[in-house]
Structure 1
C-alpha cells in the first residue's frame, strides 16, 4: 500500500540528497569544486587501468569538503595492504565505503570477491559505519541471475545499503525492488540512473578511462549509448517515477545515485533546475 507522502515531497528529497558518482581523472576535482556545494556525497570509482591509488588520492583530496565514498573494488585490494588502507581512509575522515567485486582479475594477493573483502572487514571490527553493496535491476552480462540474487543475500549482513547498477527502465527497477523486499533484503537502496549526459561526451569519457577499462565498460554497458539516444529515456522522467515509487516506504528507496561520467556541470545543472521546478509546483509564487 502506498504511503501518504506526496510524490513531489519525495522528489525533492531524492534530488537534494542525490549522490554523484565520479571517475578519478586529473581534472575532475576542479569540476567538483566549481559546481558541487560542500557537504554533498560523492562516490569515487575504482579503475583497474588507473589503479586503486587514483581512487584513494582523489578521496583524500575531496574529503575535507565532501562526504566521499570510495569504491574499494575487492579484486584490486591486496589482503596484506588492507589494514593500512583502512587506517589511511580513517585518517582522512572516511566513514562510508562501497564494495563491488570489480573488473580486475583476482590474484593470490588480492581478495577474490566483494563478500571475501566484506568478511575480512567484519573481522577487523567493521571500521566503516556505512558499507554499500551492488544490486542489479537488470541482468549482469557476466553473472547468472541466480548467482546475483544469492550474492546479495550473502552480503546483506555486512552492508548498510545497496547501490543499484545503472538502469534505464523505471518499471523494471520497481519490479526489482519488489523482488528484493520479498526475498527479505531490507537494506535501503540507492537507485542508479545515468545523469543527463551528452552521449558523444559519454563515448569520449569511455575512451579516457583506459584502453582495458574502456573495453570492459563497452562490453558491460553495450546498450548504454543506444538507449541514451533512443526516444523515450529521460533522466527527469526516471526521477519522477522513482519519486512515485518512493511514496511506498516498504520499497526503501534511499535516494538517487547519479552516474555523472564526470559531466559534473551538466548533471548538477539538471538537478538544480529540477529542484526549482519542484519548488514551483509546491509554491507557484516561488517562480514569479
Structure 2
C-alpha cells in the first residue's frame, strides 16, 4: 500500500494557504491609491474599491477602471444611496462594462439620498436584475455583529431578501472568532447559501488611519469604527490583534465546506505595502 506523502500538517495548513494566496484587498479611492496598488500589489490580486460620500462615486469608478485597464480584476462598490436613479445606474453599468469590469459590491452606503436616488441596496439590486448587465459576481454586506443602525432581525431579513439578486457576501470586521463561527452556522441554518468573503484587517498604522478617516470621513469600510474605541485600540496597538491567530481559531469553519468561506477580504485602509508584506510573510510561514 502506497503511503500518502502529504502530511497531516500539510493538509491542515491547506485552507489557510489558499485563503492567504487568494486574498483580495479593499482600498479607499484616494488620489494616490492607484499608484500604490500598481507599485506594491501583484497583478493577480483582486482589488475592491470602496465608495466614499466625500470623494463621490466618480472616484470609485475612476480607480476601478484604471486598475482594470492594467488587466487586474476589480470590484467597485456601487453604493445605492449615491446612485441617483435608474438612468444613473444604467450609465454606471455601461461604463463598467466598457472597462471590462465583471463584478460589483452593492452596499446601501452612508450618503443621504437625493431626490430620485435609491434608498437601499435592495432597490438597486432589483433594478440591476432587470438590466442586461455584465456582472458575474454581485456582493452584499453581511454583519456578524450588530449593524450600527439596524436591528439584528432587520439585517437577517434584508440579507434573505437580497439573496436572489446576489452571488456572494462580505462580512464586516468581527474580532471574536466564536461570534463569527456562531453567525456562520446560524446564517447557513437559516438558508443563506451565499459564499462568504471573510473580512479581516490588514496591517494598520494609527497615524495613517487617522489621516484617511479625517480626509474622507467614516465611509462604508470605516463605519464599524464609529464609537468603538476598543476596536480602534485593538487595530492599532502593537500586538493588539493577530489575524493569523484569528484564522487559526477559525480553522473548523475554513475546513468545513458547508461554511462556504470563499476567501479573505482584507480591509487595508490603504496600507497596501504593509498588507502585501504581511500576506507574503504569512504565506511563507504556513
- Asked if TM exceeds 0.5, the reply is yes
Q: 2:84 aligned to 68, 78, 82, which one?
A: 78
- 2:249 corresponds in structure 1 to 241
The whole-number CA distance in structure 2 between the counterparts of 1:186 and 1:99 is: 18
1:113-167 CA distance string (max 9 Å, x none): 0000000000114531110011001101211111000000000010000000111
What RMSD over aligned residues (CA atoms) do the two structures have, in Å?
Answer: 2.2
What is the DSSP-based 3-state SS (H/G/I as helix, E as strand, rest coil) of the residue aligned with 1:6? Answer: helix
Query: 189-198 vs 263-272, which deviates more?
Result: 189-198
The whole-number CA distance in structure 2 between the counterparts of 1:185 and 1:102 is: 22
What is the DSSP-based 3-state SS (H/G/I as helix, E as strand, rest coil) of the residue aligned with 1:265? Answer: helix
- How much does 1:184 deviate? 0.3
The whole-number CA distance in structure 2 between the counterparts of 1:262 and 1:223 is: 21
The whole-number CA distance in structure 2 between the counterparts of 1:101 and 1:271 is: 30
Q: How many residues are aligned here? A: 275
Unaligned runs of 5+ in 1: 279-288
What is the DSSP-based 3-state SS (H/G/I as helix, E as strand, rest coil) of the residue aligned with 2:59? Answer: helix
- 2:57 corresponds in structure 1 to 52
What TM-score do the two structures reach when normalised by structure 2?
Answer: 0.90
Decide whether the 8 Å contact of 1:196 with 1:235 is kept in 2: no
Aligned in 2, Cα 1:137/1:64: closer, same or farther, shift over 3 Å?
same
- How much does 1:217 deviate? 6.7
The whole-number CA distance in structure 2 between the counterparts of 1:124 and 1:215 is: 31
Decide whether the 8 Å contact of 2:221 with 2:267 is kept in 1: no
- How much does 1:223 deviate? 4.1
What is the DSSP-based 3-state SS (H/G/I as helix, E as strand, rest coil) of the residue aligned with 1:63? Answer: helix
Decide whether the 8 Å contact of 1:50 with 1:210 is kept in 2: no
- 2:35 corresponds in structure 1 to 30
Aligned in 2, Cα 1:102/1:222: closer, same or farther, shift over 3 Å?
farther
- 1:116 corresponds in structure 2 to 123
The whole-number CA distance in structure 1 between the counterparts of 2:111 and 2:30 is: 18
What is the DSSP-based 3-state SS (H/G/I as helix, E as strand, rest coil) of the residue aligned with 2:101? Answer: coil
- 2:150 corresponds in structure 1 to 143
1:77-122 CA distance string (max 9 Å, x none): 1112111110000000000000000001122221110000000000
Query: 225-234 vs 74-83, which deviates more?
Result: 225-234
- 2:3 corresponds in structure 1 to none
Decide whether the 8 Å contact of 2:199 with 2:266 is kept in 1: yes
The whole-number CA distance in structure 1 between the counterparts of 2:138 and 2:88 is: 19
Instruction: Kindly report which structure 2 residues correspond to 1:217-236, keeping only aligned pairs within 5 A, or say none.
Output: 218-219=225-226, 222-228=229-235, 229=237, 233-236=241-244
1:43-77 CA distance string (max 9 Å, x none): 00000001000000001110023100000000001
Unaligned runs of 5+ in 2: 1-7
The whole-number CA distance in structure 1 between the counterparts of 2:241 and 2:50 is: 25
